[in-house]
Structure 1
């Protein structure tokens, strides 16, 4: 049993809430209770967010790409560095990095992750003896940390728009449709050994890394579940796709695929007003990664128009240059303020920005991962996060303003406990396996840096 002095449940804020969990799901939510000696007692309990978009291996690059070279630095110059980095990664490196990333996510308040996984093969593109070797490493990291995993194997067939051949740095990513379908089947078998809240979706990388016929083929082979795709991240990408397919990426996708609530469109940054409205109406989730999008100079999302038309959104840490739930949420709002030179932008009409950001991201993230969570309610996965309202950043705020304080004044240190489908992985602000996971990561980095 979990006892919270205050909790934000599906029916609103309540006091003295006792929650029981069975099989990873919330069994009962009872207000106005008295704590029992065996209860795990916390201060303020919230639904925990899903981190809907992660490339875990890129965490090990953090700080390596912040040196300006001659000419204009951009996403594309960053990508070249990333390609050079990936050729040195071993399966052991990938597992150790992923475990650290998943642990850091949980300590930041995330209960689950969508791992957009595109490093599949050996450095020259040759498959491992087990086609799913690297998916198995991601699953092992999820098992070690206890995070809820939605594994998203990536179809990456071409080096650019117009079915350009893969570049040398992309060899580890490449699959034909047939090999991708075999890889996805192997990934499902691997993830089936994890707890029941873990699952597998698919991720056509982007329109530039696939083609219309291949997209149709993989969607036909995919029975059900999450479909994630990078879309409209950079102006060059938009121009390249428009030149090839005679339509902008979001425009083309909405016209040519059955985009619905199973879909998550990552970095839907460069859209027209019409595209923004149509995407919102499709029911798909906008996968926003504000820290990475700022780090790469992608540009801001059109939040006000999207919310006005009922659009769903969630947040992810993408490159994992900094894993911070609170920083992602405030960066999203601040990007809107800087663009519009206004305050309190990310809300439809009037209301709390913190509540719109936090609760919207909780619902949208759960939807994007195909995960019954995002609210504290009977039958949902017990994805829960506890915060300390006595922290100096929050102690002056009533319950109705705690989410504003969390999003704009607090740091991740206010996180005290996290449950991933009932697994109590973070206790007293620290992951229960923090020491061993961190030691394994440091050892892996020593090995990696010796060959870089």
Structure 2
């Protein structure tokens, strides 16, 4: 993988906005200097246009291996809950090596589409029969290996999962690979924090799976274990989840969480699809990020997040690829906007104001929200990781576009075909739209899928 100590950009989106003729120096994977209105040096790697890499705040990497396997209609109406049964059958087959190969392909595809860091919401902890590996972090180690092989930044979010329903219901057999008690989970976290260190800038947070899977007491313990690190939780994704929560507690999921837990900027509420306007405003007031995964939410028939009251209250959101049925950063952003257009019967729904670039506003929101949720600042700025995406000026969709119009064209027209290269900690991982290790990683993935499926 290629390294360059200096770069020159004809146009680049910096932390304080667009700039022309910028030289950027890199040392130890971080940006050490930025010179504006500068000529290119003789050894500079030259780029026409660069933007920061997008954080992918929510991924279940192993689900990339089942993409397309749940698209056969059942005897009754299909939903998240019928999809989950397919997922449980698939997850029963996976070894640590299988997980590594599948995650490597998922992370490769993320990088090729412009994601440079992933939040891995990792709940696959144990062996196929539910027994614990002799090394309790063996499945997480497979995720670490995939991140190292591909070069993607990793925020690892080990999941605490103890129950099958609200009120501490006994877990089912399909969940046997996920389960922990608080003491074992605390030990797991300690091991993971030490094991993540060789990745350089990996972050370890944690994730209570959902209000279905944890009790109030366990939530309190998890918040303490997290310290200052990220805390992610699935919440209010499906109508049935909301109905079950009301039946159990008399409150809706987000309402209950905000009433019983000190939710703050560490938190990412993933999906929050079925919330009232008052709940949306309350999330915004808490400082938490809403993690939106439009491709998966559409694929599962979950619904559309009510963005307007949330944004009006100053809410922060980011995007994720979740089930990885299709991995494409620009498509997540495009579908996010189109869902809001369809729901609200208007155009440019997520633009922040009159005359604003919708694509740029969505891109900047995904940077800010994704960075907050994953514990990083993804801006191109001195001291930050040298993570950026360069665009192909020859792409027909980018002709004649400058600044905000470039991001409008990238998201709504060119898509990933307009991405040329992706740099991560100063290393070029993607060139000409292809990851430099694409061929061996795809071959390894094929070996595993042929064993699992054929």
Q: Normalised by the size of structure 1, how large is the TM-score? A: 0.97
Say if 2:95 and 2:128, in contact at 8 Å, map to a contact too: no
Q: 2:154 aligns with which of 119, 133, 149?
A: 149
**1:354-369 superposed matches below 5 A:** 354-369=359-374
Q: 1:244 aligns with which of 232, 235, 248?
A: 248
In the alignment, the residues of structure 2 paired with residue 268 and residue 200 of structure 1 have an alpha-carbon distance, to the nearest angstrom, of 23
**1:66-145 superposed matches below 5 A:** 66-145=71-150
In the alignment, the residues of structure 2 paired with residue 128 and residue 242 of structure 1 have an alpha-carbon distance, to the nearest angstrom, of 37
In the alignment, the residues of structure 1 paired with residue 41 and residue 255 of structure 2 have an alpha-carbon distance, to the nearest angstrom, of 56
| 2:378 matches 1:402 | no
Q: Secondary structure at the match of 1:411?
A: helix
Q: Secondary structure at the match of 1:46?
A: strand
Residue equivalent to 2:195: 190
Deviations 1:331-384 (A, max 9, x none): 0000011111111111233221111100110111111000132x2211222221
Residue equivalent to 1:21: 26
In the alignment, the residues of structure 2 paired with residue 12 and residue 356 of structure 1 have an alpha-carbon distance, to the nearest angstrom, of 12
Residue equivalent to 2:275: 271
Structure 1 residues not aligned, in runs of 5+: none
Q: 2:212 aligns with which of 192, 201, 208?
A: 208
In the alignment, the residues of structure 2 paired with residue 73 and residue 126 of structure 1 have an alpha-carbon distance, to the nearest angstrom, of 31
Residue equivalent to 1:313: 317
Q: 1:222 aligns with which of 215, 221, 226?
A: 226
In the alignment, the residues of structure 1 paired with residue 79 and residue 177 of structure 2 have an alpha-carbon distance, to the nearest angstrom, of 23
| 2:384 matches 1:380 | yes
Say if 1:118 and 1:153, in contact at 8 Å, map to a contact too: yes
Q: Secondary structure at the match of 2:224?
A: helix
Deviating more after overlay: 391-400 vs 198-207: 391-400
Deviations 1:395-438 (A, max 9, x none): 13232311111111112021111122323211222212111111
Residue equivalent to 2:3: none
In the alignment, the residues of structure 1 paired with residue 338 and residue 122 of structure 2 have an alpha-carbon distance, to the nearest angstrom, of 29
Deviation at 1:389, TM superposition (A): 2.6
Number of residue equivalences: 448
Deviating more after overlay: 235-244 vs 99-108: 235-244
| 2:168 matches 1:163 | yes
Q: Secondary structure at the match of 1:393?
A: helix
Structure 2 residues not aligned, in runs of 5+: 1-5
Deviation at 1:23, TM superposition (A): 2.2
| 2:263 matches 1:259 | yes
Say if 1:307 and 1:347, in contact at 8 Å, map to a contact too: no
Say if 1:155 and 1:174, in contact at 8 Å, map to a contact too: yes
Residue equivalent to 2:15: 10
Moved over 4 A (4+): none
Deviating more after overlay: 318-327 vs 435-444: 435-444
Q: Normalised by the size of structure 2, how large is the TM-score? A: 0.97
